[in-house]
Amino acid sequence: MSTDGRTATHCPYCALQCGQWVGPSGEVDARQFPTNAGGMCQKGWTSGALLTHPQRLTTPLARPSRDTGFRPVTWDDALSGVAARLAALRAEHGPDAVAVFGAGGLTNEKAYLLGKFARVALGTSQIDYNGRFCMSSAAAAGNRAFGLDRGLPFPVTDLDDAEVVVLAGANVAETMPPLMSHLAGARLVVVDPRRTPTAERALASGGLHLAPRPGTDLVLALGMLHAAVTGGHLDLAYLDERTTGFDDVWAVAGQWWPERAERVCGVAASDMRTVVGWLAASTRRYVLTARGAEQHAHGVDTVAAWINLSLALGLPGRPGSGFGTITGQGNGQGGREHGQKSDQLPGYRHIADPAARAHVASVWGVAPESLPGPGRSAVELLDALGRPGGPRALLVFGSNVLVSAPDARAVAERLDALDLLVVADVVPGETAARADVLLPVAQWAEEEGTMTNLEGRVLRRRRALAPPPGVRTDLEVVAGLAAALGAPGAFPSDPRTVFDELRRASAGGPADYAGVSYERLDAGEALHWPVPADDHPGTPRPFTERFAHPDGRARMLPVDHVEPDERVDGEFPLVVTTGRVLVHYQSGAQTRRVPELAGVAPEVVVEVHPDTAARAGLADGDPADVVSRRGTTTARVRCVPTLRQDTVFLPFHYGGAGAANNVTNPALDPVSRMPEFKVAAVRLEPAATGDRAAGRVPEKSGAGRSCQG
């Protein structure tokens, strides 16, 4: 679809997937689309800058050894060389000696073909993706409660008429600013240990900012559920008709009266009762969770606690109300549906399900017994690299694990222990710099495909211009490797062909795309999965009549507070929490290369309460070391009087000595295997002189300003 030489497509960044026009030279303009209503954030407006960036990778690169530099090679030599080394490692160590790591930013077609490539061409169970760091806890909680994981089980535009919206762990004013236009008429309640721009908007809307101690969001939800029960706000008819399990939930929540919850989480009991009263008195109300509630070693339980509160008040599945999770990555929803997750097959099927294996194997033309079983989750996969019995080779598509994974120093050690690291990327990020082979691939405006946004809507990504000479698409790379390996079955590189196969593979599964086609999408149809047939209109609101469990009821599951995996003590008296800033995205490999964005946030800062900084002998602007039991992040001090005195904040968009994940804790949720990104015990101290000399954070000329000033 094009107008005046411009192509209609979508922003390459977050799951809002704002509509864009891309011109023939890569110029970008906003396009009217329901999610963004003609607006974009700074990241979207500057997204075309990467298309012609001087650091763009345009030829395959390889190096004979880790002690030498990269040198250009032909595509034939790159693919045949990688295939030969993979074949040799598989022959010596077995198929699980090779691992694949994908991403939530890949198109549906790429995610699908990558999962097929791992299971069929490589025969490995060792595949996972960076969505494990993003949506896994919410997905697990949603599947348990509702029988289906749809981030937002309603269109974003449903929020336009909301009266009250609770945002638990979401800073959408910075992470996806166009979403704020849909919340403009609502009273907002923001749950966040920081007074973010979203929290400021909440206060301006007549709402509240609730600032719990990091790691205690679950206690807050339990206290609010107690207030709902004792305040007479339960929707008893809804509970009786549409849910099971309330009595078991109340057996736990009944012990968390708001005053007790206040002592643990730090949020006033009166505020808990006020928010519950607002929700109960409104007819159009929503509870939305995001990474702040989910990125914990008990994130599944935390999301479940917010779901329980929502069900007790009768929100999910009711017109004008609901519970949802704000997906982060561009294809965070579709990326977890079609097979690049360690336990999954296309259509959101489980790889251990015999019926699922038989169906997908028939589409792939292989025997069901030839498919491997579940593999390691992302953190466990990275930790196994190069160890006895672990993978000896890793292929990375669209992810920068050296910045995005917890405990970055340990990840670097594991990458260096590999016999072979192959990275397909657009620019040479931190992980790519450690590769043995670098493969240059196309960007969003240079390829065809589909994405699935945060509301479960399947979208068309259209090619606006050709990639630079020498650059291939990820589909062409995967197809080329499969051919070089002599893989059974077909590995097409044409995205339409791949999507048609995906449709057949997903048919009958929870995420059924059988009725979605490029033709229907190009005709402008709004297709929210499941779409089980060519004449099916899609399912924008899947829970209006029943939930996806066999009995049609939602499951309320009892959950209780568990302290974070790592506690503060005399040596590490502070809690560090991580998150985003407005102008950067994910690991920053792209946005840090855009001058307009890098100029706004050129270096990592650590947000600190003035009194906390003073106790550490630091002033505003000073370079500081944030030290945990695993490593050190060096950052510039930014004094923030509204921050909790027991908490410091690091953005996670930077690499090297400024990587927030130098200090984060790799402890995992027992269900989702999500790492504990939001809570780690640290201390704050002036940066070591040697670190400053090494360029970690350059020392400012003159004395830093006092945090008290």
Q: Which residues contact 455 (CB under 8 A, 6 or more apart)?
A: 35, 151, 152, 154, 155, 156, 528, 540
Partners of 128 in the β-ladder: 101
* Separation of alpha carbons 331 and 11, rounded Å: 11
The Cα 206–Cα 208 span in angstroms is 7
**Gap between the Cα atoms of 313 and 315, Å rounded:** 6
Q: CA–CA separation, 580 vs 251, rounded Å?
A: 37
DSSP code, position 122: I
Q: Which uninterrupted H or E stretch holds 518? A: helix 518-522
In angstroms, rounded to a whole number, what is the distance separating the alpha carbons of residues 48 and 527?
A: 27
For 652-704, where are the E strands, in sequence order?
A: 665-668, 675-676, 680-686
**CB-based contact 425:438 (threshold 8 Å):** yes
Q: β-strands 322-325, 285-289: how paired?
A: parallel
Domains and CATH numbers, the chain: 2-43 (no CATH), 61-134+331-493 (3.40.50.740), 136-325 (3.40.228.10), 574-693 (2.40.40.20)
| pLDDT per position as a tens digit, 525-569 | 999 999 999 999 999 999 999 999 999 999 999 999 999 999 999
- What is the tens place of the pLDDT at every residue in 318-358? 999 999 999 889 899 999 999 999 999 999 999 999 999 99
Can you give the pLDDT at residue 705? 38
- For 322, counting Cβ atoms within 10 Å of its Cβ (0-12 exposed, 13-18 middle, 19+ buried), the class is buried
| pLDDT value at residue 708 | 37
Length of the chain in residues, anyone? Answer: 709
DSSP string, 460-479: EE---SPPPTT-B-HHHHHH
Q: What pLDDT shows up at residue 126?
A: 98
Quick one: residue 588, left, alpha or beta (phi over 0 = left, psi -120 to 50 = alpha)? left
Q: Provide the whole-model pTM.
A: 0.95
How far apart CA 278 and CA 224 sit, in angstroms, is: 12
d(CA 631, CA 629): 6
Q: Which helix (H) or strand (E) holds 280?
A: helix 269-281
Residue 689's pLDDT is: 59
State the DSSP code for 14: B
Give pLDDT < 70 ranges for the chain.
1-3, 689-709
Question: Cα–Cα distance between 152 and 165 in angstroms, integer?
Answer: 14
Residue keyed to tokens 């979207």: 44
Instruction: Give the Cα separation of 286 and 309 in Å (integer).
Output: 11
Name the amino acid, one letter, at 24.
P
Report which of 245, 248, 226, 170 is spatially closest to residue 202, judged by C-alpha positions.
170
Provide the token pair at 667: 């402890």
> What was the pLDDT predicted at 5?
87
